[in-house]
Amino acid sequence: MEVTHLADTFFTRRLTAKGQPLLIAGPCSAETEEQVLATARSLQALGNIDLFRAGIWKPRTRPGSFEGMGKTALPWLQRVQQEIGLPVAIEVATPHHVEQALAHGIDVLWIGARTTVNPFAVQELADALAGTGVPVMVKNPVNPDVALWAGALERLERAGITNLAAIHRGFSTFAPSRYRNAPTWALPIELKTRFPHIPLICDPSHIGGRRDLLLPIAQKALDLDYDGLMIETHPDPDHALSDAEQQVTPQRLGEILSELKYRYRSSDNAEYLNKAEELRQKMDVADREIIEALARRMSLVEELAAYKKENNVKILQLDRWQEIFTSRAEWAGRVGVNEKFVEELYKLIHIESIRKQTEILNRPE
C-alpha cells in the first residue's frame, strides 16, 4: 500500500511494512483470561493481525450491564504481548485509565465514541498522554459532527501526540436504519481530507451491529481507501458479555478477510491508464456543461426576480416549487439518474435561487 501522504507513526510504519490494510481484532470486552488468550492465539494464527483489541472499562448506556473487568484484565493483556507476541490496545476514558494502561505497558490506546463527544474529557486525556509517545486512536463521536472528531485530534496534536489514527464507528441518528450506527461515509471522507496525514480505520462491527453486515461495510471502507479495519472477535460470540450480535469467531474473521477484494489505488496497465484519462476528460467536459447550465438557470432567476420586484410579487410560490421538485425527479428517473439524488440537488438549487431573489428584491433602489 502506498502511504506517502501519511505521517511516520506506529500505524504507518506497520502499514508500509505489510503493504496491506492494518488489521485490528479482538473481543469487545476482555471477559476471562482464557477467553482473551484463546482469542489472541487464534488471531495470531491468521498471520496478518497487527493489533489485539479488548475493552476493559466498558462505557455502557445503562448501569447494571457488564461494565468490564477493569484492571484485573491488564495482566491478561500482558500475557498476549509476551506469550503470543501481539501488541495490545484498550479503550481509555480518564487520566486514571491512561496511567494504569501505561504502567502495564499497553501498546496502543483508543478514545471511545462516548468520550470524543466531550472536549473536557478529551483535553484531560491529551494532558495525561502528553510526552508518553503512546499511539492513540480516536473514534468518531456518537453524533454526526465531524468538527468534534477533528477537535479531538487537534487537542491531541497540540499536546504533541503525533502517533495518531482515527476510527470510523458510525453515528447515532434518529432516522431508521439497517445499521446500528449509520456510516454517513461523507463525514469520515471529510475528516480524511482535513487530516490526510492520519490513518483512517473502519470499525464495521459497531457500524453494522450485525455479523452479516461486516463484509459489505469492510469492503466499502477498503474501496474508499481506508488504511485499516477494526473487527470484534470472540471465541463464542453468541455468549459474549457485550455486543454479542456483532462479534465473529477468529475463524470467521479469517474468512471475511479472504473474501474481501483488495483493490489498488491505480494500475500500471497502459490501456487502463489511457481509458481512465479519456473518461476523466469527458467528465470534465460534462461538468463544464453542468456549470454553464447552472449559470444560465441562475441568470433566468435574476431576470424573474427583477420582474417580481417591479410587480411587487413574493419570492416563494409553493405550487411552482412543488411542481419543480416532482417534475425534475421524474425527468431524472426517465434518463436513469437516481431520483432521490436529483431531489437533493434541487433542494440546493432552490436555496440558491431564493438567496439570489432575496438579494435582488431587497436591493436598495
Site residues for Mn ion per CB under 5 A: 28, 243
The angle subtended at Cα 53 by Cα 118 and Cα 61, nearest 5°, is 40
Examine residue 30 and tell whether it contacts ligand PEP (CB under 6 A): no
C-alpha cell at 352: 440558491
Q: Which residue has the cell 411552482?
A: 320
Q: Which stretch binds ligand PEP (CB under 6 A): 2-10, 107-115, 186-194, 280-288?
A: 107-115
Burial (CB count <10 Å: 0-12, 13-18, 19+), residue 106: buried
- Counting contacts by CB under 6 A, is residue 55 touching ligand PEP? yes
Applying CB under 6 A, among 6, 93, 108, 139 the residue interacting with ligand PEP is 139
Q: Which of 14, 169, 192, 211 binds ligand PEP (CB under 6 A)?
A: 169
Please give the residue whose beta carbon sits closest to Mn ion in the complex: 28
For Mn ion, which is the closer residue by CB, 28 or 101? 28
Three cell numbers written together for 141: 463521536
Question: Binding ligand PEP by CB under 6 A: which of 108, 113, 200, 241?
Answer: 113
Out of Mn ion, ligand PEP, none, which partner does residue 139 contact, by CB within 5 to 8 A per kind? Answer: ligand PEP
Query: In this chain, which stretch among 76-84, 110-118, 215-223, 296-304 interacts with ligand PEP, using CB under 6 A?
Result: 110-118
- CB-CB neighbours of 209 under 10 Å: 18
d(CA 196, CA 200): 9
How many residues belong to the chain? 365
Q: How many Cβ atoms from other residues are within 10 Å of residue 122's Cβ? A: 23
Cα–Cα distance measured from residue 150 to residue 164, given in angstroms and rounded to the nearest whole number: 12
In terms of Cα–Cα distance, which of 205, 275, 200 is closest to 55? 205
Tell me if 206 contacts ligand PEP by CB under 6 A: yes
Q: Is 192 in the site for ligand PEP (CB under 6 A)?
A: no
Compare residues 35 and 353 and give the one whose CB is closer to ligand PEP.
35
**Are 12 and 228 within 8 A, CB to CB?**
no
28 or 342, CB closer to Mn ion?
Answer: 28
Residues lying near ligand PEP in the complex (CB under 6 A) are found at: 28, 55, 59, 112-114, 139, 169, 206
